[in-house]
Amino acid sequence: MHRRNFLKIAGVSSFAVNGHTMRPFSNSKIARVMADCEEVEDRIMVLIQLKGGNDGVNTIVPIAQYDTYADLRPVIKIPDSGPEQFIKLDTSVPSADQVGLHPVMTGLKALYDKGWLNIVQGVGYENLNQSHFKSTDIWLSGGDGTPDHSKVRSGWMGRALNAMYPDVMGTPIPDMLYPLGIQIGDPYPSLGFHTETEHQNSINLYGQDPDGFYSLVQTIGGAPLANIPDSDYGDELRFIMGVEDSVDQYSQYITQAFNAGANAITDYPQNGLSDQLKTVARLVKGGCKTKIYLCSMGGYDTHGSQIPPEGDISKGRHADLLRNLSDSLKTFYDDLEGMDLADKIVSCTFSEFGRCARENGSAGTDHGTLAPMFILGKALSGGIHGTNVDLSNLAGDNQLQGQQFDYRQVFTTLLQDWLGASNYVLEQTMFDGYVKLPIISNSYTVQPDCYIATSVFDQESAGRPLQVFPNPAGYRTQVSFYSQGNADARLSLHSLGGALIEIRPVQVQPGTNFYHFDVATLPPGAYFVRLEIPANGKAEVIKLSITR
C-alpha cells in the first residue's frame, strides 16, 4: 500500500489552535538567506480559498457595461443608484476599466484606498474545468485543463517549499522550529501541500480554556508500538510513528508561539474566516515562522437565493459571504498594522472558478469560468490589473471568455517577488515561464541577489530575454524583460510581414519590466514583438501568436 493511501486509512492524531483545525506541513528543505537579506526570512503568505466558485461578476461589476450586465441579471444585479448601489472603486482609471465593488465590501474599499489591495481581472487557466473537485485540484496542484497538466499528483505549495527549504525533513531543526506550511479551518488535508514523495504530516489542534485562549489539551501520538513486524506493513507503521513524533514536536512550538502572541485587536467579526485570520495574526506575533498559511471559507456555490425574496442585495447569501470576507480582511490588516506586522504578510484569495454571466431561474448563478483575484498587504503596488470581462462576448452557454491572466502568474509573482523564491524554485514548482505581474511595490520586491535556493538555472536566467505571456494570446498579452540598469527603449508590435502595428517609447528600469499590448482587434495569426535599446544597439524579437 502507498503511504498516501495508508495515511488516509490510519488517520493521524490532531490538535487545534484558537478553535480551528490546523494542519502543519513540514517540507523537505531549508536554505540560508544572505546576511543582508534577512528581512525576506520574516515574510509570510496567507492564501484564502473561497470554496464553491465565487460569483466574480457581482463582486466586481463592470460599470461601463452596466446595461448589458443588468439585462443578463435582472433579478440579482447590483443597483447603480440608491442606498444599495455598487461602490465605485477607482474613478482615476480609464472609464472602460472602472469597476463597482459589491456594496457590502467597504472594508476592501478602505484597503484599496490605502494602496493595500490589488485586483487581478479575468483569471483562469487553459481548458477551464467546471467541476468543483477537479478545478479545485487544478488550482492547488498548479496544473490546468490540458491532458499533460490535468493530473498533477502533488501541490504547488508543497513543491515550492520543498525546493526553497531543503533541510527540513518533517521535524523541527534549529534553523526552522515551525512547520513551513499550516492549513487552518479545514479538517481535511489540502492537496496544495502534498509533495511528490510523501503525504505531508498533518495534525489537528483542538480545545479551549475558560479564558478563550486555545491550547493543546491532548497528548499526540501515544506510546510507541512494540514488536513491529519486519514487513511492508511494519515499514508503514514505522513511518506513521515517525509522523506522529514530528507532529508532537511541531505542536509544542506552535502552542508556544500562540501563547506568546497577542492580538492588537480582539473584537474581530464573528465568522469562521475571521477567527482563522485572528489566529494567524497571533501566531505570527508570537514568533511563528511558518511561510504559507492556507485559510478557507465555504458557501460560494450560489446556485440559488443569492439575494433574499424581498430583493435586498445587501442581505443575501452572496452579500453575507462577501461582507464576512471583506470585514475579516480589513480587521486582520488593522490588527497587523497595530502590531507593526502589516508589511510582513501578503494575502491572496482564490476560488475554483467564477459563475455564469447570466443568472438562472433561482435567483442564483451556475458554474462558470473566469473570476477576479484579490491580493492584499502593505507591500503592494495597489491598483487593478487587466480590464473588465466583456459581457457582450460570451461563449454559447453564456460563459465568460477572454482570459487575461493565468492564476499561476499571480502565485509565481508572490513566490518570487514576495517570498524570494529563485528561478530554480519556480522550475521545481512547475511555474517557470509564467510572466509575473507588478503586484509587489518596487521597495518590497525581492531582488535576485536575495533569492532563496539559487542554482545555475538562476544564473542563466537572471538576464532572461524578452518574454510574452500568454502566448498564444486572445485579447491581451504581457511583455516582460529584465534589465540591469536604466535605459530609453522602443517597444513595437509587427505583423508577420514586418508591417508596424504599434510602437511606444518606454523607460526601462532596473529589474523586471512589464508592458501590455491589447490585441483584441487584431486578426488571428503570427506577429512579432520587438524591443530596441538604441543606446547599446541592442534589439530583441519574439514571436507572438494570436488565436481565438
CATH number at residue 379: 3.40.720
Residue 400 to residue 358: CA distance in whole angstroms? 10
- Residue pair 13/221 in contact by the 8 Å Cβ criterion: yes
81 belongs to a structural domain: no
Are 400 and 498 part of one and the same domain?
no
pLDDT of residue 169: 64
Are 302 and 345 part of one and the same domain?
yes
DSSP characters for 489-526? EEEEEEETT--EEEEEEEEE-SEEEEEEEE-TTSPSEE
Q: What is the pLDDT of residues 122-171, one digit of tens each?
A: 999 999 999 999 999 999 999 999 998 998 988 999 889 888 887 776 67
- Picking from 428, 461, 494, the residue at the C-terminal end of a domain is 461
162 belongs to a structural domain: yes
- Picking from 434, 461, 488, the residue at the C-terminal end of a domain is 461
Are 268 and 320 part of one and the same domain?
yes
Q: Is the pLDDT of residue 448 over 50?
A: yes
Are 435 and 532 part of one and the same domain?
no
User: Per the structure block, which three cell numbers stand in for 266?
Assistant: 480582539
91 belongs to a structural domain: no
Residue 204 to residue 291: CA distance in whole angstroms? 19
What does residue 478 show for φ and ψ, rounded to 5 degrees? -105, 130
Residue 402 to residue 371: CA distance in whole angstroms? 11
Span of 50-64, 124-138, 226-240, 456-470 with lowest mean pLDDT = 226-240
Query: What's the 3-state SS for 248-287?
Result: HHHHHHHHHHHHHCCCCCCCCCCCHHHHHHHHHHHHHHCC
- Residue pair 14/203 in contact by the 8 Å Cβ criterion: yes
Q: Is the pLDDT of residue 483 over 90?
A: no
Are 324 and 468 part of one and the same domain?
no
Span of 169-178, 350-359, 401-410 with lowest mean pLDDT = 169-178
Question: Residues 180-199: what's their mean pLDDT?
Answer: 76
72 belongs to a structural domain: no
Q: Provide the CB-side half-sphere exposure for 311 (13 A, CA).
A: 6
Residue 104 to residue 79: CA distance in whole angstroms? 12
Are 438 and 478 part of one and the same domain?
no
- Residue pair 409/437 in contact by the 8 Å Cβ criterion: yes
For all residues of the chain together, what is the average pLDDT? 83
DSSP run (H or E) holding 324: helix 317-338
Residue 413 to residue 435: CA distance in whole angstroms? 8
Strand order in the sheet with 487-495: 500-508, 487-495, 525-533, 538-546
37 belongs to a structural domain: yes
DSSP run (H or E) holding 7: helix 3-10
What is the tally of helices (H) and strands (E) in the chain? 13, 20
Residue 8 CB: number of other CB atoms within 10 A? 13
| Nearest C-alpha neighbor of 319 from the set 347, 344, 299 | 299
Query: Which residue's C-alpha cell is 508590435?
Result: 493
- pTM for this entry: 0.78
Say what percent of the chain tops pLDDT 90. 51
Residue 121 to residue 106: CA distance in whole angstroms? 19
Question: Residues 180-194: what's their mean pLDDT?
Answer: 82
pLDDT of residue 90: 96
71 belongs to a structural domain: no
Does residue 537 sit in helix, strand or coil?
Answer: coil
82 belongs to a structural domain: no
pLDDT of residue 153: 86
In single-letter form, the type of residue at position 358 comes to R
Question: Residues 519-548: what's their mean pLDDT?
Answer: 85
- DSSP secondary structure code for residue 51 in this structure: T
Are 130 and 170 part of one and the same domain?
yes
Span of 239-243, 480-484, 491-495 with lowest mean pLDDT = 239-243
Question: Residues 233-258: what's their mean pLDDT?
Answer: 63
Paired strand residues for 79: none
pLDDT bin (cut points 50, 70, 90) of residue 20 is: low
Are 211 and 116 part of one and the same domain?
yes
pLDDT of residue 181: 87
143 belongs to a structural domain: yes
Are 442 and 479 part of one and the same domain?
no
DSSP run (H or E) holding 383: strand 383-385
Phi/psi-derived region of residue 170, left when phi > 0, alpha when psi is between -120 and 50, beta in every other case: left
Q: Is the pLDDT of residue 177 over 90?
A: no
The pairing of strands 292-297 and 44-50 is: parallel
What does residue 26 show for φ and ψ, rounded to 5 degrees? -90, 145
Q: How far is CA 205 from the centre of its chain?
A: 25
- Picking from 461, 486, 515, the residue at the C-terminal end of a domain is 461
Span of 32-36, 169-173, 208-212 with lowest mean pLDDT = 208-212
Query: Which residue's C-alpha cell is 477567527?
Result: 275
Rounded to 10 degrees, the C-alpha dihedral 87/516/473/524 comes to 110
Q: Is the pLDDT of residue 197 over 70?
A: no
CATH of the domain at 544: 2.60.40.1930
ω into residue 472 within 30 of 0, thus cis?
Answer: yes
pLDDT bin (cut points 50, 70, 90) of residue 210 is: very low
Residue 481 to residue 400: CA distance in whole angstroms? 30
Residue 232 contacts by C-beta under 8 Å, 6 or more apart in sequence?
1
Are 363 and 508 part of one and the same domain?
no
Q: Is the pLDDT of residue 490 over 70?
A: yes
Query: What's the 3-state SS for 145-201?
Result: CCCCCCCCCCCHHHHHHHHHCCCCCCCCECCECCCCEEEECCCCCCHHHCCCCCCCC
| Nearest C-alpha neighbor of 104 from the set 313, 268, 311 | 313
Instruction: Count up the domains in the chain and report the number.
Output: 2
pLDDT bin (cut points 50, 70, 90) of residue 184 is: confident
For residues 305-322, b (16+ Cβ closer than 10 Å) or e, as one string?
ebbeeeeebbebbbbebb
pLDDT bin (cut points 50, 70, 90) of residue 207 is: very low
Residue 372 contacts by C-beta under 8 Å, 6 or more apart in sequence?
56, 59, 60, 119, 120, 121, 122, 123
Are 422 and 544 part of one and the same domain?
no
- DSSP secondary structure code for residue 449 in this structure: G
| Domain range enclosing 521 | 463-548
Residue 209 contacts by C-beta under 8 Å, 6 or more apart in sequence?
215
Are 106 and 118 part of one and the same domain?
yes
